[in-house]
C-alpha cells in the first residue's frame, strides 16, 4: 500500500520520517515482514533527497526495526522490539450509555471438547455446501448492474417472495412479499422492531428462562426488560406486567425449555395483547425441525397478523454465518420498520439473498430440511431415550417435539454448576439451564443441543456425563 508520511513536526526531515515509520511499526500498522517503499520512490513522493530517506531507514535498521535484503528491498523485522506505552498514551475512557456498560462484546470462545452438546448450533456437515457454492457463484456471475447498486431496504425481491411462499405453506403465515423484510438473522429483526416501537424506559416482557440476546438487545435500546415465568404451556400470561408494550415469545419451541405453547395459552396471550394494545414478537427460530404431530398454528396466523410480528431465521436451517433472517410485520409497522432497515443497514447483502432465493425456489431448501430433520430427529430420540433410561433417577426430560436441543430438570437436588464443570473437564459440553435466567437460577436443570454431536457419539458422551454426577 501507499504509506502516508507527513513531513510536519519537529527535527530535521530525516528524523521526521524516522519517527513516523517507527511509530507505524511499534503500533503494528506496518506489520512484521512488510516491505517498505524503495528509498528512491519514497524520496520522490516526498520531494526530499534520497539520502534523507536512506538515513531514516538506516537508523531503523540499526535499532532492529528494519532489515535490508540485498536485491529484494527493506522489510519490517519479523519481531520488531516492543515499546511500552508512554505515560499519558493510554486511550481515554469514553463514557458510553448505561446499558452498554455491562453487555459483553462477545462471549469467550468455546474450547473444543470430545462430546459437544452445545445449544443453538446446526450441524454444518449436513449442509449441502457444494450446491450452495454453485448458487452463490451463479448469483455473483449473473448479478446485473442494477442489483449491484442500492436496492429496496426490505431486501431481494425474489427472496421476499420465496419466503412469503415458504411460510405461507409450511407455517400458514399469511403474508405477501411486501410484508416480508429480509434481515441479518433474527437478531436484526428484533433490533428493528425494538427501534421503532420502544420509547426510552418502555416495558418489554420476555420469557424467563429465555433467549439472552433478545433480553440484552431490548435492554440496550433503553427498555426495562421483565422476565415472565414459563410453565408447561408457555409464558404465564397472568404474570405479564400491565405496562408491557412489547412481549417477546418463542411459541413453537420455547427457548431454552423446548416446550410448545398450548393453543389455550396462545389464545390467552393474543387476547392480552389486544386488551393492552401491546405488540407480540413471535420468534419461530427453529420450528422447521419438527419430529412429531402437526404444528400448532403460529400466533401470527391465529391473529391474522394484527398485533404479531413474525420473526424467522435461517441460522439453524442453513448456517449461522450466512446471517439470514426475516420478519413479517403488521401493515402499520411496514413503513417505519423499512425505514429503520434503510437507516441502519440499507438492504443487507443482496448476492447471498439471491442465492437463498434460488435455494428456496429450486427445492434445495425443502430437500435439505427433510434430510436434516431426519438426522436431528434420530439424535433427539437417542438423547431422550438414554436420559429416560440411564438418568431416570436424576433427570426429568422436558417433552419437546422440535428444534435442535432439549432440556431436562434435575429430579434430585444436586449442584448443576459443579456437574457442568466436571463434565467440561471430562470433555463433555452441556449447558446449565440457570444461564438462561436473568434473575435467580430457576428450576435446576441442563440443556443439551444435538446440532454439534453425531448420532453415534451421543451414547458415549452421555455415559461420560453420568460419571460427573455427585455420589448419592
Ligand atoms: C431463540 C432464538 N432465536 C433466534 C435465534 C437465531 O438468531 P440469528 O438468526 O440472529 O442467528 C436463535 C439462535 O440460537 C435462538 O435461540
Q: Which three cell numbers stand for residue 193?
A: 422492531
Rounded to the nearest whole angstrom, what is the distance from the C-alpha of residue 186 to the centroid of ligand 1?
6
Across residues 53-67, what is the average pLDDT? 93
Of 440 and 339, which is predicted with more confidence? 339
List Cβ neighbours of 316 (8 Å cut-off, separation of 6 or more). Answer: 120, 122, 285, 286, 288, 289, 404, 451
Positive or negative torsion for Cα 33, 38, 42, 43: positive
Query: 325 CB less than 6 Å from ligand 1?
Result: yes
pLDDT tens, residue by residue, 196-241: 999 999 999 999 999 999 999 999 999 999 999 999 999 999 999 9
Residue 147, pLDDT score:
59
CA–CA–CA angle 247, 253, 255 (5° rounding): 65
Q: What share of the chain is helix, strand, coil (3-state, %, to 5)?
A: 40, 15, 40
Considering the chain, what is the average pLDDT of its residues? 93
Phi-psi region of 363 (alpha: psi -120 to 50; beta: other; left: phi over 0): left
Residue 142, pLDDT score:
78
pLDDT tens, residue by residue, 277-290: 999 999 999 888 99
CA 145 – CA 427 distance, rounded (Å):
51
Query: 211 CB less than 6 Å from ligand 1?
Result: yes
CA 371 – CA 369 distance, rounded (Å):
5
Residue 285 and residue 186 in contact, taking contact as beta carbons nearer than 8 Å:
yes
Rounded to the nearest whole angstrom, what is the distance from the C-alpha of residue 393 to the centroid of ligand 1?
32
Query: 38 CB less than 6 Å from ligand 1?
Result: no
Residue 9, pLDDT score:
80
Residue 214 and residue 188 in contact, taking contact as beta carbons nearer than 8 Å:
no
Q: Which three cell numbers stand for residue 167?
A: 411460510
Coil, helix or strand at residue 145: coil
Rounded to the nearest whole angstrom, what is the distance from the C-alpha of residue 285 to the centroid of ligand 1?
6
Q: Which of 182, 193, 206, 255 to mutate to test the pocket of ligand 1 (most atoms within 8 A of CB)?
A: 255
Rounded to the nearest whole angstrom, what is the distance from the C-alpha of residue 187 to the centroid of ligand 1?
7
Q: Which three cell numbers stand for residue 381?
A: 430420540
Query: 139 CB less than 6 Å from ligand 1?
Result: no
Residue 27, pLDDT score:
84
pLDDT for residue 7 is more than 70:
yes
146: confidence class by pLDDT, cuts 50, 70, 90: low
Short-list 202, 255, 264, 267, CA closest to 230:
255
Coil, helix or strand at residue 369: helix
CA-proximal residue: ligand 1, atom 12 (nearest): 285
Element housing 215 (H / E):
helix 212-220
Residue 347 is given by DSSP the state: T
Across residues 312-322, what is the average pLDDT? 96
Kindly give the number of the ligand 1 atom that is closest to the alpha carbon of 250: 1
pTM here?
A: 0.88
Rounded to the nearest whole angstrom, what is the distance from the C-alpha of residue 317 to the centroid of ligand 1?
11
Across residues 60-78, what is the average pLDDT? 91
CA-proximal residue: ligand 1, atom 5 (nearest): 285
**Using CB atoms within 10 A of its CB, is residue 142 exposed (0-12), middle (13-18) or buried (19+)?**
exposed
**Using CB atoms within 10 A of its CB, is residue 69 exposed (0-12), middle (13-18) or buried (19+)?**
exposed
CA-proximal residue: ligand 1, atom 15 (nearest): 285
Of 305 and 12, which is predicted with more confidence? 12
Residue 367, pLDDT score:
97
Alpha helical stretches, state H, 81-200: 129-142, 157-170, 185-197
**Kind of pairing, strands 234-235 and 66-69?**
unpaired
Element housing 226 (H / E):
strand 224-231
CA 228 – CA 289 distance, rounded (Å):
26
Residue 145, pLDDT score:
55
Rounded to the nearest whole angstrom, what is the distance from the C-alpha of residue 104 to the centroid of ligand 1?
17
pLDDT for residue 348 is more than 70:
yes
Residue 101 is given by DSSP the state: G
Residue 126, pLDDT score:
95
Coil, helix or strand at residue 111: coil
Residue 356, pLDDT score:
97
What percentage of the chain exceeds 70 in pLDDT?
97
CA 193 – CA 191 distance, rounded (Å):
6
What Cα–Cα distance (Å) separates residue 200 from each residue in 38, 119, 193, 246? 57, 32, 14, 13
Short-list 438, 445, 430, 436, CA closest to 398:
445
Residue 80, pLDDT score:
79
Across residues 34-56, what is the average pLDDT? 93
Rounded to the nearest whole angstrom, what is the distance from the C-alpha of residue 294 to the centroid of ligand 1?
23
pLDDT tens, residue by residue, 75-132: 999 887 776 666 666 778 899 999 998 888 888 888 899 999 999 999 999 999 999 9
CA 271 – CA 240 distance, rounded (Å):
13
Rounded to the nearest whole angstrom, what is the distance from the C-alpha of residue 213 to the centroid of ligand 1?
8
Rounded to the nearest whole angstrom, what is the distance from the C-alpha of residue 331 to the centroid of ligand 1?
24
Residue 76 and residue 25 in contact, taking contact as beta carbons nearer than 8 Å:
yes
Coil, helix or strand at residue 395: strand
**66-70, 187-191, 260-264, 434-438: which range is least confident on average?**
66-70
Half-sphere exposure of residue 149: CA atoms within 13 angstroms, side-chain side: 2
Kindly give the number of the ligand 1 atom that is closest to the alpha carbon of 187: 10
Residue 100 is given by DSSP the state: G
CA 290 – CA 12 distance, rounded (Å):
74
pLDDT tens, residue by residue, 402-419: 899 999 999 999 999 999
Residue 56, pLDDT score:
95
Query: 255 CB less than 6 Å from ligand 1?
Result: yes
Query: 315 CB less than 6 Å from ligand 1?
Result: yes
**Using CB atoms within 10 A of its CB, is residue 61 exposed (0-12), middle (13-18) or buried (19+)?**
middle
pLDDT for residue 324 is more than 90:
yes
Q: Which three cell numbers stand for residue 427?
A: 470433555
Amino acid at each position: 500500500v501507499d504509506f502516508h508520511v507527513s513531513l510536519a513536526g519537529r527535527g530535521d526531515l530525516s528524523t521526521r520520517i524516522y519517527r513516523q515509520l517507527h511509530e507505524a511499526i511499534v503500533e503494528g500498522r506496518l506489520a512484521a515482514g512488510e516491505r517498505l517503499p524503495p528509498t528512491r520512490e519514497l524520496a520522490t513522493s516526498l520531494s526530499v533527497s534520497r539520502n534523507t530517506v536512506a538515513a531514516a531507514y538506516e537508523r531503523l535498521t540499526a535499532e532492529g526495526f528494519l532489515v535490508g535484503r540485498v536485491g529484494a528491498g527493506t522489510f519490517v523485522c519479523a519481531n520488531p522490539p516492543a515499546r511500552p506505552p508512554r505515560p499519558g498514551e493510554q486511550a481515554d475512557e469514553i463514557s458510553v450509555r448505561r446499558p452498554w456498560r455491562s453487555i459483553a462484546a462477545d462471549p469467550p470462545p468455546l474450547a473444543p471438547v470430545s462430546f459437544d452438546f452445545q445449544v443453538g448450533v446446526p450441524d454444518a456437515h449436513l449442509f449441502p455446501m457444494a450446491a450452495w457454492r454453485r448458487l452463490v457463484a451463479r448469483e455473483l456471475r449473473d448479478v446485473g448492474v442494477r442489483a449491484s447498486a442500492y436496492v429496496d431496504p426490505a431486501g431481494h425481491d425474489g427472496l421476499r417472495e420465496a419466503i412469503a411462499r415458504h411460510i405461507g405453506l409450511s407455517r400458514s403465515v399469511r403474508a405477501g412479499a411486501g410484508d416480508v423484510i429480509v434481515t441479518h438473522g433474527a437478531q436484526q429483526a428484533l433490533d428493528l422492531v425494538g427501534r421503532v416501537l420502544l420509547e426510552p424506559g418502555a416495558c418489554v416482557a420476555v420469557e424467563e428462562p429465555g433467549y439472552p440476546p433478545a433480553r440484552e438487545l431490548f435492554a440496550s435500546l433503553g427498555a426495562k426488560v421483565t422476565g415472565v415465568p414459563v410453565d408447561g404451556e408457555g409464558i404465564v400470561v397472568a404474570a405479564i406486567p400491565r405496562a408491557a408494550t412489547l412481549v417477546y415469545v418463542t411459541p413453537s419451541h420455547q427457548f431454552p425449555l423446548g416446550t410448545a405453547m398450548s393453543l389455550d395459552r396462545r389464545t390467552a396471550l393474543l387476547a392480552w395483547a389486544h386488551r393492552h394494545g401491546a405488540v407480540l414478537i413471535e420468534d419461530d427460530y427453529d420450528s422447521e425441525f419438527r419430529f412429531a404431530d402437526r404444528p400448532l398454528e403460529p400466533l401470527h396466523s391465529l391473529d391474522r397478523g394484527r398485533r404479531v410480528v413474525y420473526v424467522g431465521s435461517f441460522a439453524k436451517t442453513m448456517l449461522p454465518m450466512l446471517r439470514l433472517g426475516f420478519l413479517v410485520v403488521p401493515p402499520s409497522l411496514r413503513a417505519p420498520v423499512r425505514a429503520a432497515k434503510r437507516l441502519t443497514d440499507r438492504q443487507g447483502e443482496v448476492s447471498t439473498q439471491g442465492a437463498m432465493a434460488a435455494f428456496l425456489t429450486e427445492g434445495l431448501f425443502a430437500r435439505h430440511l427433510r434430510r436434516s430433520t431426519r438426522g436431528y430427529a434420530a439424535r433427539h430420540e437417542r438423547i431422550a431415550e438414554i436420559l429416560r433410561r440411564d438418568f431416570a433417577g436424576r433427570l426429568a426430560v422436558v417433552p419437546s417435539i422440535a428444534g435442535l436441543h432439549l432440556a431436562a430438570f434435575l429430579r434430585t437436588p444436586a449442584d448443576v454448576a459443579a456437574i457442568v464443570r466436571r463434565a467440561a473437564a471430562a470433555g463433555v459440553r452441556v449447558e446449565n439451564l440457570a444461564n438462561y435466567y436473568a434473575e435467580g437460577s430457576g428450576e435446576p436443570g441442563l440443556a443439551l443441543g444435538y446440532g454439534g454431536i453425531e448420532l453415534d457419539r451421543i451414547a458415549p458422551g452421555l455415559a461420560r456425563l453420568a460419571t460427573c454426577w455427585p455420589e448419592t
